[in-house]
Amino acid sequence: MNYIPNLEFKEEILKEIGIKRIDELFSDIPEIVRINRLNLPDGKTEMEVKKEITCTLKKNKRTLSFLGGGIYDNYVPSAVKAIIQRSEFYTSYTPYQPEVSQGMLQAMFEYQSMIAELTGMDAANASMYDWATSVAEAVLMCSRITKKNEFIIPKNIHWEKKSVLRNYTKGAKLKIKEIGYDEKTGEINLDELKSTINDNTAGVYVENPNFFGVLEENVADIKNIVGKTLLVVGINPLTLGIIKPPGEYGADIVVGEGQSLGSPMNFGGPLLGLFACKKEYVRQMPGRLIGMTKDSDGRTAFCMTLQTREQHIRREKAASNICTNESLCALSAVAYLSLLGSDGLEKIGKELVSKTKFLADEINKIDGYKAPLFNSCHFNEFVVKTKKDTNRIHKRLLESGIDAGIILNQHFPELGNSMLCTVSETHSKEDMLRLVDALKEVKDV
- Binding to another protein (CB under 8 A) within 404-443 occurs at 406
Q: Residue 331 interacts with another protein (CB under 8 A)?
A: yes
β-partners of residue 256 are: 235, 274
For residues 196 and 301, which CB has a smaller minimum distance to another protein in the complex? 301
CB 149, CB 173: distance < 8 Å: yes
Q: What is the DSSP string of 366-422?
A: STTEESSSSSS-BSSEEEEEESS-HHHHHHHHHHTTEE--EE-TTT-GGG-SEEEEE
Identify which range of 7-15, 143-151, 185-193, 380-388 contacts another protein by CB under 8 A. 7-15
At its nearest, how many Å lie between another protein and the CB of residue 24? Answer: 8
Position 282 contacts another protein (CB under 8 A): yes
Of residues 193 and 285, the one with the C-beta less far from another protein: 285
Site map (CB under 8 A) of another protein, residues 299-318, x = contact: x-xxxxxx---xxxxxxxxx
Yes or no: say if 193 and 216 are a contact pair by the CB < 8 Å rule.
Answer: no
Nearer Cβ to another protein (199/261): 261
Scan residues 334-363 and list those touching another protein (CB under 8 A).
334-335, 337-346, 350, 353-354
Q: Check binding of 147 to another protein (CB under 8 A).
A: no
At residue 59, what are phi and psi to the nearest 5 degrees?
-70, -15
Question: How many residues belong to the site for another protein (CB under 8 A)?
Answer: 192
The residue range among 181-189, 191-199, 282-290, 366-374 that interacts with another protein, by the rule CB under 8 A, is 282-290
Alpha carbons 136 and 298: distance in angstroms, whole number: 40
391 scored as a contact of another protein (CB under 8 A): no
Q: Is 232 helix (H, G, I), strand (E, B) or coil?
A: strand
Site for another protein in 85-124 (CB under 8 A): 85-104, 106-110, 112-114, 116-118, 122-124
Strands annotated E in 76-188: 123-124, 150-154, 175-179
Report the chain's terminal Cα–Cα distance, integer Å: 55
264 to 299, 360, 410: CA distances (angstroms): 36, 25, 27
> Interface residues for another protein in 175-214 (CB under 8 A)?
none
Q: Does 394 bind another protein (CB under 8 A)?
A: yes
Distance CA 438, CA 181 (A): 31
Count other C-beta atoms under 10 Å from residue 265's C-beta.
17
How far apart are alpha carbons 256 and 120 in whole angstroms? 14
Q: Which is nearer to another protein, 79 or 433 (CB)?
A: 79
| 373 lies in the site for another protein, by CB under 8 A | no
Please say which residue, 49 or 195, places its beta carbon nearer to another protein. 49
